[in-house]
Amino acid sequence: MLAPVAVLASLLGLFFATFALLGARIARIWDFVFAFAGFAMNGVLLWGVLFTPPRRPGCSPKFVCIANLKPVEGAKATWALEHHKTTNDIAADSDFFGTNAYIRIKPQCPSGGSYKIGTVDQKTTCSIPGHTL
């Protein structure tokens, strides 16, 4: 949120500094006012760039596990549609994972949990509580 404000402050600062230089012959007091405003707004930009911490995406094991569950759900839905399966059918791992299957490598929970694919109408789950879609 602070970065757009800093960019706006920098642009305003450059505008005021340019205006002060172009109108330097007209009024001397306004030169100092506009130049100071330009330097102050550039300082706000510098502060925003240097002291705003970078945003990091949520890379906790829970979010990685949930991200791993989503393609398995998609592969299960595609498998059921292509093979005309009902909601009570259960697929084997070899139907989803392999070199010629929907997903090349079986995903693993980063916390050490195991995935249960279940029937077509059930959500794929992880054995660790909280790792759910």
Three-state SS string over 7-57 comes to HHHHHHHHHHHHHHHHCCCCCHHHHHHHHHHHHHHHHHHHHHHHHCCCCCC
What per-residue confidence (pLDDT) applies to 14?
63
Cα–Cα separations (whole angstroms), residue 83 to 61, 76, 78, 96: 33, 11, 8, 12
pTM over 0.85: no
Closest CA to 10 of 31, 32, 28, 37: 37
Range of the domain at 41: 2-51
120 and 68 in a common domain: yes
The verdict on residue 56 lying in a domain is no
66 and 119 in a common domain: yes
**What is the full per-residue pLDDT of the chain (133 aa) written as tens digits?**
455 666 666 666 666 666 666 655 555 666 677 777 778 887 887 787 777 777 666 678 888 899 999 999 999 999 999 999 988 888 888 888 988 888 999 999 999 999 998 898 899 999 999 888 8
